[in-house]
Amino acid sequence: MSDATVKSVRSRDSVANTLLVAAALSLVCSILVASTAIILKPMQQRNEDLYRQQIILDVAGLYEPGANIENLFAGIETQMVELATGHYTDAISAEGFDAIAAAKDAELGINIPAEDDTASIRRRARLSPVYLVRRENALNQIILPVYGPGLWSTMRGFLSLGPDGSTVRGLRFYEHAETPGLGDQIDKAEWRAEWVGKQVFESGDQPHIEVVRGSVDENSNEAIYQVDGISGATLTGRGVTNLVRYWTGPHGFGPFLKRIRAEAAEND
Ligand SMILES: Cc1cc2nc3c(=O)[nH]c(=O)nc-3n(C[C@H](O)[C@H](O)[C@H](O)COP(=O)(O)O)c2cc1C
């Protein structure tokens, strides 16, 4: 090997060259990863939206496996509600509304006073979407987005109520990180079925519904407001009680539900 060839191989293997190749490779890889993330973002968002729509359809008992979710969901009316007044508003579109970001926003969010914060949420958006199912022009179901802390995680889901604004039609979570086999039993069809037909309100504006510890005494007058606890997951169950009570209570959708209950009473 000539002196010139040896020199050229040495300079290719130099520390500077190795670092340069490593840096170039990292740059190319990060550009690839970043552009893939950017390209996939809208697809990911669409899948998340579709999944939420599927859960809304499911909690309303309208989900048909294999059917086109967007077509089914188009039959559900979406409205934005100003929580403090319970009135519909078109100040913000429900499409793409991000309740988590809105809660953090100085103008779109508000602090929850400690005495009202039964679910320890601290802050929430001023507005929220609600989903209405109508049958022959009459209100048939009201579906409310609800969330709050469980034992390990924020549990996010939808609560469906009948047109009286009190009878539960369904409760279903689409996001949480409770323990598999314990807290995650909130997703089990048997437990979800227990909610159907229960009453949120006894009298007045304070929700009375709760997940009890152990089993509901079916002979008790309270049974209509109670759901069986999940064995070994009392804390997750307590979180569910707290969040359902907060969102149906006076600082949550209470004013909206009061309006719905008054309309239902008028129509009777
Ligand atoms: C690893 C581990 C995971 C747990 N996960 C949950 C859970 O997801 N939800 C819950 O309520 N309790 C969970 N627990 C149990 C709680 O610490 C607590 O004991 C339980 O909620 C009490 O419910 P019980 O009175 O029905 O036994 C977990 C405990 C351990 C050790």
Name the more confident of 12 and 188: 188
Task: Tell me 179's DSSP state.
Answer: P
Q: Which of 235, 236, 238 to mutate to test the pocket of ligand 1 (most atoms within 8 A of CB)?
A: 235
How far apart CA 194 and CA 214 sit, in angstroms, is 13
Name the more confident of 186 and 204: 186
Burial 190-228 (b: 16+ CB within 10 A, else e): ebbebbeebbbbeeeeebbbbbbeeebeeeeeeeebbbe
- Phi and psi at residue 38, to the nearest 5°: -65, -45
pLDDT at residue 6 greater than cutoff 70:
no
* pLDDT at site 170: 97
Distance 153 CA to ligand 1 centre (A): 13
pLDDT at residue 144 greater than cutoff 90:
yes
* pLDDT at site 57: 96
- 3-class secondary-structure state, position 2: coil
CB 164 within 8 Å of CB 261: yes
pLDDT at residue 4 greater than cutoff 70:
no
pLDDT at residue 7 greater than cutoff 90:
no
11 C-beta neighbours (distance < 10 Å), count: 10
How far apart CA 93 and CA 82 sit, in angstroms, is 12
Closest among 81, 55, 258, 64 to 155, alpha carbons compared: 55
* pLDDT at site 204: 87
Mean pLDDT of 229-255: 97
Is residue 2 very low, low, confident or very high in pLDDT (cuts 50, 70, 90)?
low
Q: Which atom of ligand 1 is nearest to the CA of 233?
A: 11
Taking only the tens place, the pLDDT of each residue in 80-131 is 999 999 999 999 999 889 999 999 999 999 999 999 999 999 999 999 999 9
Strands (E), 187-238: 210-211, 226-227
Pocket of ligand 1 (CB under 6 A): 151-152, 178-179, 182-183, 231-236
Distance 238 CA to ligand 1 centre (A): 11
* pLDDT at site 3: 65
Residue 201: alpha-carbon gap to chain centroid: 22
Q: Which amino acid is located at 121 in the chain?
A: I
Taking only the tens place, the pLDDT of each residue in 206-218 is 999 999 999 999 9
33-37, 39-43, 73-77, 247-251: which has the minimum mean pLDDT? 39-43
How far apart CA 153 and CA 148 sit, in angstroms, is 8
Closest residue CA from atom 7 of ligand 1? 183
Compute the C-alpha angle 186/188/194, nearest 5°: 80
Tokens coding 17: 């060259």
Q: Which of 176, 179, 241, 243 to mutate to test the pocket of ligand 1 (most atoms within 8 A of CB)?
A: 179
CB 119 within 8 Å of CB 246: yes
Q: What is the mean pLDDT of the chain?
A: 93
Taking only the tens place, the pLDDT of each residue in 168-189 is 999 999 999 999 999 999 999 9
Q: Which of 188, 234, 238, 243 to mutate to test the pocket of ligand 1 (most atoms within 8 A of CB)?
A: 234
Supply the pTM of this predicted model.
0.87
Q: Which atom of ligand 1 is nearest to the CA of 152?
A: 8
CB 165 within 8 Å of CB 257: yes
- 3-class secondary-structure state, position 129: strand
pLDDT at residue 268 greater than cutoff 80:
no
Distance 192 CA to ligand 1 centre (A): 19
